[in-house]
Amino acid sequence: MERARTHRSRNRSRLASALTAAAIAAGALTGLGSGLGTANAAEEPVAAPRHAVTGYWQNFDNGATVQKLRDVQDEYDIIAVAFADATGTPGAVGFTLDPALGYGSEDEFKADIRAKQDAGKSVVISVGGERGTVSVNDSASAANFADSVTGLMDEYGFDGVDIDLENGLNSTYMSQALKAVHAEASDVVVTMAPQTIDMQSTSNEYFRTALAIKDFLTVVNMQYYNSGSMLGCDGKVYSQGSVDFITALACIQLEGGLDPSQVGIGVPASPRGAGSGYVEPSVVNAALDCLARGTSCGSFEPDRTYPGIRGAMTWSTNWDASNGSAWSKAVGPHVHGLP
């Protein structure tokens, strides 16, 4: 299914106006409490299916299977190109294809993006990663971030942006930046991949950012790995690597203001994809069933079900390929078969 993209002219004055409006709207964050289940249903971007599988595609060779974008497994609905790089301008990001991938030209890469979109997929540019140094901490850097992201969307045809900043995030200015991007492209796909510690409370900066952009946020795929033990929504401590860890921590987001359509489960595609926290695909599917259907739960059983839960994410499509695509073959059909 072909989805037409409208390429809009971008300029600093329009982004500045959008940022001004975003700054005013940011006042809505003041006094944001920990009340549960009070938010309205989110407006779903057309580009993302009701139940979606997200995968990170590596723009580098770290020992996993090297893929061109065209080789990404068909089960993935949202493909996050990892990563955009910091530039010499505060807040701004750029993107450079790694020669190790074997692309003959950028036009070939852009053609792969279009082909994925023609197949009904969304392709977004991911910002951050473990070693990412992008910092958006004032209005100027927020404007630079928004300007550069929309510029990459125009240049490459990306459908949106993924926020994977693992070294700190300022909710006030990141929210302004993302609202400015949305003002320029109302159908933008915005995904996030916070660490578990970033989503333990609605007062955390990542959680505040997600709630501030809830009217257009696509999905938060929290990383249920490299974590250690964390508190669930029932106040009990759960260790990573189990159904209970996933369901009890997802409950915090589901009851903390996000719509179920904005919550996804992020896990490694293989034991080599992360330092710790790998679980078998069957555990991911059991956690999804527990949250969506109330079946296959462990000791933690949510008070209600969330049939609208968006789905699952993995790091990465490359590590998945290295493992015979076992993750996407098992989790993909399961996600697409959710109620």
d(CA 332, CA 330): 6
Q: What is the pLDDT of residues 167-177, one digit of tens each?
A: 889 999 999 99
pLDDT score for 18: 44
Could you tell me the CA-to-CA distances from 110 to 76, 154, 292 in Å, in that order? 18, 11, 36
Report pTM.
0.87
pLDDT score for 166: 83
Strands 311-315 and 52-58: what pairing? Answer: parallel
Residue ranges of the chain with per-residue pLDDT less than 50:
1-46
**Structure tokens belonging to residue 139:** 């209005």
Catalytic sites, residue numbers: 166
Strands 78-86 and 93-94: what pairing? Answer: antiparallel
pLDDT score for 133: 79
Nearest to 283 by CA among 325, 338, 245, 233: 245
**Structure tokens belonging to residue 24:** 């005013």
Round the average pLDDT of the chain to a whole number and report it: 88
8 A C-beta contact, residue 249 and residue 197: no
d(CA 185, CA 177): 13
My answer on whether omega of the bond before 300 falls inside 30° of 0, hence cis, is no
d(CA 304, CA 302): 5
